[in-house]
Structures are given as C-alpha cells and as structure tokens.
Amino acid sequence: MSVYEVGLRLHGKSVLVVGGGTIAGRRVPRLIDAGARVLVVAPEVTTTLSDLAAAGELQWERRGWRPGDGDGAWFVLAATDDPAVNAAVAAEAEANRTWCVRSDDAEASDAWTLARTAFDGVSVAVSASGDPRRAAAVRDAVAAALRAGDLDAPRSRRTRPAGVALVGAGPGDADLITLRGLELLRQAEVVVSDRLAPQELLDLLGDDVEIVDAAKLPYGRHTTQEQINAVMVERAREGKFVVRLKGGDGFVFGRGAEELDACLEAGVPVEVVPGLSSSIAGPAAAGIPVTERGVVHDFTVATGHVPPGPQSLVDWHALGAGNGTVVLLMAVKNRAAIAAALMEGGRPGDTPVRIVESATTKNQTVRECELSDLGVTEAHHPAVIVIGAVAARGRSL
C-alpha cells in the first residue's frame, strides 16, 4: 500500500489519544515533544503517562471513550486493546476529516506512525507498507550508519553550532560517548582533546578540523588549564565551533567548571554534554556495582592525585570510619598513603579491593587485593580503585 509521507507540525494543536497502554506510552512523549496539547482518554494508563499527567504535560480523563471526544482534534491515536472501540474512534475521526492512526490494524488505519530516528538535527522516518518490524529494521540500519559516519548528513555552515561544547567522551570505549556528544563532535571545526579521551573518535573528523592536543600546550607564565581556556575562547571568537573533548565526565575531577566559567566570562556560547564517569562505569565494566542491595547503601568518589595530608581536601579518616564503597580516581601514585589513611580511620586491612585499569577498552585489566596490600599491588594509570564489600562481588564479564 502506498502512502504520502508528511511531517505534521502539531505545536499548540489538540491531539486525542484513546487508550493508556504501552503503545500510547511510546507515542505520547513524542507528541508532547512536538508541542501538541494531548488529551488521553483511558480508564487506566501506564506509569509514564500518569507521571506526565501529574506534571501537567498532558490532560488525562480517567474513563472510556465517548462519541464527541475527538471534536476539535487535529490528530487522533486509537490505541486501546478493543478493536471495536478503535474502529469507532477511527470512524468518528474520518467523519470529522481528522487523520487517525489505529494501533491495532494497519490496513484499516487512515494514517500510520512511521519508524523514526533522529541524529544531528536530521529526522528520518521509514514506511514499509504497514509492516512495522521491517520499517523498524530499516530505521535502525539508517540510525547506525549515521552514528558510524557511514551515511553522511552534511550541514551548511549557517546551521553549524556556535561557541564551545564541553563534551564528556566516557570512560574509554569510543562507543560510550553519548549521541549528543557524537553529533556535536561531527560538527566541530576545532577539537581540544585530552589524552584520556578515546582517540578513535578523532578518526571521525575531517582533515580540515583543527585538533589541539591539550597535553602538548606549552607551559609559560600561565598554567596548562589557562592555556586550554584561552585556546577555546580564541577559536570561538574567530567564529569557529569548538569541542572540548575529555575522557569520562568533565565535571567529575575534570575541571569542567573552570572551562565553563572561562566561556561564560568571555561571553562565548557554551553547551555542556555530560559523559559516563569512569567512577561508576569503570567498576560496572568489571562487574562491580558501587552499591548493592543488602551489601552497601552508599558510595564516595574521591580523587587521589593529592596524598592524605594538609593539601588534601578529602576527609580520609571519615571515609575509613564508614562502611560505604570508596571509589578512587587518579590514585595510582598515592595508593599506599591512601590505604594507610583509611586503615587509620578504622577501615579493616582485609577490606576487599579491586583495581580496574583501562576500563571498557580492549586493554581492561582487573587486579584483586586487600586494603593492607594496596600499596604493593601492581597498578597502572588510568585506573579506578574500588574499596569495600562490593569489590569482592565482581563478576567475570
């Protein structure tokens, strides 16, 4: 069956959804995102729809469908589990010359919801003659090709973002960058990259993209961080779109706040794209939960780049006295002093420890020891050190 594909601009327009099950739960958020004024008519709805109604995102009338519910609607979705009700809803919509999608019968439906994906400002919708599985398969293939760069969606210079994007690239595996981060990276004209950012991501960039290695910025009368801030601001003021690419999440011991402040103080537009922090993703990649029901109910993430002592802002004694999981970043060099401080605070020497090196990458290595042996156990940067009962519960993945 042939259809005429069209995009509906529903902003501010009334949409009727009859039924509150899983189909409605999947379709309604997209309608809300399009700006529609959604009325859901159903005796019961999913938790998602109930939460949206409580938040004022939609109107929910807790009852069955009645003739006349669709009066004034620009679009109707019939999504009950009763074919007779769906047929009645569709018949009324047709009488009102309102397009209606029936979730239960594609052949009897006057309109279809197409399988849709979006990437880098491009929306792709797929129709497959009423076969939703085939449409979804094609949609997924297109989405994968767009994300991998095998299918290009070039943007004009006019539509390129402005200013700076602070992008967290995740704990190590290039596939763990967020979709938003990848979208912005593909549009970058300048990339200021850390050595812990997945270097494979840089291979996605065109030859005309300037790549600034943050580790090689020259030292002068300013610190390296000030040089990084200066480069970002200068390039942005030249009219170029800059991506600051960092491993993990730039706001977890990554000086992201300093970079944000530098852009704001310079009047440069800036967007923050969070990344998966290695403090949680690293242990997870080794099968270690930082919390677990019945085992531990809290965890603390601390930086170990400064050893215990007057210069450290961490209360190591308090961490030693507690029972929660302790996750250490940048602590390989000072691990012996940290272990001693935790034991002085009361943490038993036989507390399980796991060291996850190069987490999520092909070089991931996991080492086991007890807290008393942490200082003499082999460890190499970059590593996440997990201390506590959960460290004994790692799974072989």
What confidence tens digit (pLDDT) does each residue in 240-295 have? 999 999 999 999 999 999 999 999 999 999 999 999 999 999 999 999 999 999 99
Judge whether 101 and 78 are in contact, CB under 8 Å: yes
Q: What's the mean per-residue pLDDT of the chain?
A: 92
Q: Is the pLDDT of residue 205 over 80?
A: yes
Indicate if the pLDDT at residue 221 is higher than 60. Answer: no
State the pLDDT at residue 155.
64
**pLDDT at residue 152 in the model:** 74
User: Among the three residues 247, 273, 299, which one is the final residue of a domain in this structure?
Assistant: 273
Find the catalytic residue in 152, 203, 208, 216.
216
- d(C-alpha 371, C-alpha 350), whole Å: 6
How confident is residue 206, by pLDDT bands cut at 50, 70 and 90?
A: confident
Note down the domain range covering 187.
Answer: 157-273
- Kindly indicate the confidence band of residue 42, based on its pLDDT and cuts at 50, 70 and 90: very high
Mean pLDDT of 201-213: 91
| pLDDT for residue 1 | 62
Would you call 253 helix, strand, or coil by DSSP? coil
Asked which of 217, 244, 273 is the last residue of a domain, the reply is 273
The domain boundary residue, chosen from 225, 256, 273 = 273
Average pLDDT rounded to a whole number, residues 106-119: 86
Q: In a 3-state reduction of DSSP, which class is residue 162?
A: coil
- Asked if residue 300 and residue 258 are part of one domain, the reply reads no
Query: Residues 108, 176: one domain?
Result: no
CA dihedral 339, 343, 346, 352 (to 10 degrees): 60
For residue 104, the domain's CATH number is 3.40.50.720
pLDDT the model gives residue 150: 77
Tens digit of each residue's pLDDT (9 = 90 or more) over 122-180: 888 888 877 888 888 888 888 888 877 778 776 655 567 899 999 999 999 999 999 99
218 vs 130, higher pLDDT: 130
Residue (of 308, 309, 292, 291) closest to 300 by Cα position: 291
Annotated catalytic residue 105: no
Q: Check residue 55 and give left, alpha or beta (phi > 0: left; psi -120 to 50: alpha).
A: alpha
Q: Do 317 and 243 fall within a single domain?
A: no
Does residue 82 sit within a domain?
yes
**Count of domains in the chain?**
3
Residues 231 and 330 in one domain: no
Q: Residue 315 contacts by C-beta under 8 Å, 6 or more apart in sequence? A: none
Q: Is 175 one of the annotated active-site residues of the chain?
A: no
pLDDT at 188: 95
Q: Is the pLDDT of residue 230 over 80?
A: yes
Total-model pTM: 0.78
Catalytically annotated residue among 13, 82, 194, 315: 194
Q: What value does the mean pLDDT take over residues 293-318?
A: 95
Q: What is the mean pLDDT of residues 347-371?
A: 96
